[in-house]
Structure 1
Protein backbone atom coordinates (compact mmCIF):
# COMPACT_ATOMS: atom_id res chain seq x y z
CA UNK A 1 0.00 0.00 0.00
CA UNK A 2 1.37 3.40 -0.98
CA UNK A 3 1.72 6.37 1.35
CA UNK A 4 -1.25 8.06 -0.38
CA UNK A 5 -3.39 4.96 0.16
CA UNK A 6 -2.35 4.78 3.81
CA UNK A 7 -3.12 8.48 4.30
CA UNK A 8 -6.48 8.18 2.55
CA UNK A 9 -7.43 5.11 4.54
CA UNK A 10 -6.47 6.75 7.84
CA UNK A 11 -8.51 9.86 7.05
CA UNK A 12 -11.64 8.06 5.81
CA UNK A 13 -14.21 7.48 8.53
CA UNK A 14 -16.35 4.37 8.55
CA UNK A 15 -19.69 5.05 6.92
CA UNK A 16 -22.73 4.25 8.99
CA UNK A 17 -25.65 5.43 6.91
CA UNK A 18 -29.27 4.35 6.52
CA UNK A 19 -29.60 1.10 4.62
CA UNK A 20 -31.68 2.71 1.87
CA UNK A 21 -28.94 5.25 1.09
CA UNK A 22 -26.22 2.61 0.98
CA UNK A 23 -28.24 0.15 -1.10
CA UNK A 24 -29.22 2.86 -3.57
CA UNK A 25 -25.56 3.84 -3.88
CA UNK A 26 -24.57 0.21 -4.47
CA UNK A 27 -27.11 -0.11 -7.27
CA UNK A 28 -25.81 3.06 -8.91
CA UNK A 29 -22.15 2.02 -8.59
CA UNK A 30 -22.49 -0.08 -11.72
CA UNK A 31 -23.26 3.01 -13.78
CA UNK A 32 -20.57 5.28 -12.29
CA UNK A 33 -18.39 6.86 -14.95
CA UNK A 34 -15.57 8.88 -13.44
CA UNK A 35 -15.12 11.19 -16.43
CA UNK A 36 -18.84 11.93 -16.64
CA UNK A 37 -19.95 11.89 -12.99
CA UNK A 38 -17.08 13.18 -10.86
CA UNK A 39 -16.97 16.71 -12.35
CA UNK A 40 -20.67 17.15 -11.56
CA UNK A 41 -20.36 15.81 -8.03
CA UNK A 42 -17.31 17.86 -7.02
CA UNK A 43 -18.14 20.91 -9.14
CA UNK A 44 -14.91 21.15 -11.09
CA UNK A 45 -13.85 20.00 -14.55
CA UNK A 46 -10.31 18.91 -13.67
CA UNK A 47 -10.28 15.42 -12.21
CA UNK A 48 -8.10 15.04 -9.10
CA UNK A 49 -6.32 11.76 -8.37
CA UNK A 50 -8.67 9.15 -6.83
CA UNK A 51 -7.23 9.49 -3.31
CA UNK A 52 -7.59 13.28 -3.34
CA UNK A 53 -11.09 13.03 -4.80
CA UNK A 54 -12.05 10.50 -2.15
CA UNK A 55 -10.95 12.79 0.70
CA UNK A 56 -12.88 15.73 -0.74
CA UNK A 57 -15.94 13.55 -1.32
CA UNK A 58 -15.73 12.23 2.25
CA UNK A 59 -15.84 15.81 3.58
CA UNK A 60 -18.79 16.76 1.37
CA UNK A 61 -20.65 13.55 2.18
CA UNK A 62 -20.17 14.12 5.92
CA UNK A 63 -21.67 17.61 5.55
CA UNK A 64 -24.59 16.19 3.57
CA UNK A 65 -25.14 13.56 6.25
CA UNK A 66 -25.12 16.21 8.99
CA UNK A 67 -27.75 18.13 7.03
CA UNK A 68 -29.83 14.94 6.75
CA UNK A 69 -29.58 14.25 10.47
CA UNK A 70 -30.35 17.86 11.40
CA UNK A 71 -33.37 18.04 9.09
CA UNK A 72 -31.95 20.93 7.07
CA UNK A 73 -34.50 21.91 4.44
CA UNK A 74 -31.91 22.14 1.68
CA UNK A 75 -30.87 18.48 2.13
CA UNK A 76 -31.10 16.60 -1.17
CA UNK A 77 -31.18 12.79 -1.02
CA UNK A 78 -30.20 12.51 -4.71
CA UNK A 79 -27.03 14.55 -4.06
CA UNK A 80 -26.27 12.44 -1.00
CA UNK A 81 -26.54 9.25 -3.06
CA UNK A 82 -24.36 10.75 -5.82
CA UNK A 83 -21.72 11.63 -3.23
CA UNK A 84 -21.82 8.12 -1.76
CA UNK A 85 -21.52 6.52 -5.20
CA UNK A 86 -18.54 8.68 -6.12
CA UNK A 87 -16.95 8.21 -2.68
CA UNK A 88 -17.15 4.42 -2.88
CA UNK A 89 -15.98 4.32 -6.52
CA UNK A 90 -13.06 6.67 -5.88
CA UNK A 91 -12.14 4.72 -2.76
CA UNK A 92 -11.96 1.58 -4.85
CA UNK A 93 -9.81 3.30 -7.48
CA UNK A 94 -7.50 4.57 -4.73
CA UNK A 95 -7.22 1.05 -3.31
CA UNK A 96 -8.79 2.06 0.01
CA UNK A 97 -12.11 0.21 -0.34
CA UNK A 98 -12.33 -3.39 -1.51
CA UNK A 99 -14.11 -3.89 -4.85
Structure 2
Protein backbone atom coordinates (compact mmCIF):
# COMPACT_ATOMS: atom_id res chain seq x y z
CA UNK A 1 0.00 0.00 0.00
CA UNK A 2 1.26 3.45 -0.89
CA UNK A 3 2.07 5.92 1.87
CA UNK A 4 -0.19 8.96 2.27
CA UNK A 5 2.14 11.45 0.58
CA UNK A 6 2.52 9.18 -2.44
CA UNK A 7 -1.24 8.62 -2.67
CA UNK A 8 -1.82 12.36 -2.62
CA UNK A 9 0.95 13.05 -5.14
CA UNK A 10 -0.46 10.49 -7.57
CA UNK A 11 -4.03 11.81 -7.53
CA UNK A 12 -4.92 12.73 -11.10
CA UNK A 13 -7.95 14.95 -11.39
CA UNK A 14 -9.26 17.31 -14.06
CA UNK A 15 -7.32 20.57 -14.23
CA UNK A 16 -10.27 22.70 -13.13
CA UNK A 17 -10.78 20.67 -9.94
CA UNK A 18 -7.06 20.64 -9.18
CA UNK A 19 -6.70 24.39 -9.74
CA UNK A 20 -9.71 25.18 -7.58
CA UNK A 21 -8.27 23.05 -4.78
CA UNK A 22 -4.83 24.66 -5.01
CA UNK A 23 -6.45 28.10 -5.00
CA UNK A 24 -8.52 27.29 -1.91
CA UNK A 25 -5.85 25.59 0.21
CA UNK A 26 -4.42 28.90 1.45
CA UNK A 27 -7.70 29.60 3.26
CA UNK A 28 -8.02 26.10 4.73
CA UNK A 29 -8.67 26.14 8.47
CA UNK A 30 -8.77 22.67 9.96
CA UNK A 31 -11.08 23.49 12.86
CA UNK A 32 -13.61 25.21 10.59
CA UNK A 33 -13.50 23.22 7.34
CA UNK A 34 -12.72 19.65 8.39
CA UNK A 35 -15.60 19.15 10.84
CA UNK A 36 -18.42 19.42 8.29
CA UNK A 37 -16.56 17.36 5.71
CA UNK A 38 -15.92 14.47 8.10
CA UNK A 39 -19.20 15.11 9.96
CA UNK A 40 -17.53 14.90 13.36
CA UNK A 41 -17.08 17.08 16.40
CA UNK A 42 -13.74 15.60 17.39
CA UNK A 43 -11.02 16.05 14.81
CA UNK A 44 -8.74 13.08 14.13
CA UNK A 45 -4.98 13.33 13.78
CA UNK A 46 -3.70 14.43 10.39
CA UNK A 47 -2.91 10.94 9.05
CA UNK A 48 -6.29 9.55 10.13
CA UNK A 49 -8.05 12.57 8.66
CA UNK A 50 -6.18 12.09 5.39
CA UNK A 51 -7.21 8.45 5.19
CA UNK A 52 -10.86 9.42 5.66
CA UNK A 53 -10.55 12.28 3.18
CA UNK A 54 -8.95 10.06 0.55
CA UNK A 55 -11.85 7.61 0.90
CA UNK A 56 -14.38 10.44 0.58
CA UNK A 57 -12.53 11.82 -2.43
CA UNK A 58 -12.51 8.40 -4.12
CA UNK A 59 -16.29 8.27 -3.66
CA UNK A 60 -16.60 11.78 -5.11
CA UNK A 61 -14.44 10.81 -8.08
CA UNK A 62 -16.49 7.70 -8.72
CA UNK A 63 -19.69 9.73 -8.59
CA UNK A 64 -18.19 12.32 -10.96
CA UNK A 65 -17.04 9.72 -13.46
CA UNK A 66 -20.40 7.97 -13.26
CA UNK A 67 -22.10 11.25 -14.11
CA UNK A 68 -24.47 10.76 -11.20
CA UNK A 69 -27.12 13.39 -10.69
CA UNK A 70 -26.15 13.89 -7.07
CA UNK A 71 -22.54 14.85 -7.86
CA UNK A 72 -21.63 18.20 -6.33
CA UNK A 73 -18.43 19.77 -7.68
CA UNK A 74 -18.23 22.18 -4.73
CA UNK A 75 -18.20 19.24 -2.31
CA UNK A 76 -15.50 17.52 -4.36
CA UNK A 77 -13.36 20.68 -4.34
CA UNK A 78 -13.87 21.07 -0.57
CA UNK A 79 -12.60 17.53 -0.01
CA UNK A 80 -9.60 18.13 -2.28
CA UNK A 81 -8.80 21.36 -0.42
CA UNK A 82 -8.97 19.49 2.88
CA UNK A 83 -6.62 16.81 1.54
CA UNK A 84 -4.06 19.40 0.45
CA UNK A 85 -4.46 21.35 3.69
CA UNK A 86 -4.09 18.30 5.92
CA UNK A 87 -1.04 17.17 3.94
CA UNK A 88 0.59 20.58 4.44
CA UNK A 89 -0.21 20.55 8.15
CA UNK A 90 1.10 17.00 8.54
CA UNK A 91 4.37 17.91 6.79
CA UNK A 92 4.75 21.05 8.91
CA UNK A 93 4.06 19.11 12.09
CA UNK A 94 6.58 16.41 11.23
CA UNK A 95 9.26 19.02 10.38
CA UNK A 96 8.77 20.73 13.74
CA UNK A 97 8.96 17.48 15.69
CA UNK A 98 12.40 16.56 14.28
TM-score tier after normalising by the smaller chain length: 0.7 to 0.9
1:88 maps to 2:77: no
1:53 maps to 2:49: yes
Q: 2:23 aligns with which of 27, 41, 44?
A: 27
More helix by percentage: 2
Distance 2:14 2:5 in 1: 22
Please name the residue that 2:69 is paired with: 73
Deviation >4 Å, runs of 4+: 10-13
Q: Deviations over 1:13-62 (max 9, x none)?
A: 72100000010011111111101000011111111001110010000001
1:63 maps to 2:59: yes
Please say which of residues 21-30 and 8-17 is displaced more in the overlay. Answer: 8-17
Distance 1:32 1:10 in 2: 21
Cα RMSD, aligned residues only: 2.0
* Number of residue equivalences: 91
Distance 1:33 1:39 in 2: 10
Offset of residue 9 of structure 1? 3.6
Q: TM-score, normalised by structure 1?
A: 0.83
Would the aligned equivalents of 1:50 and 1:91 in 2 still touch at CA under 8 Å?
yes
5+ residue gaps, structure 1, are 1-5
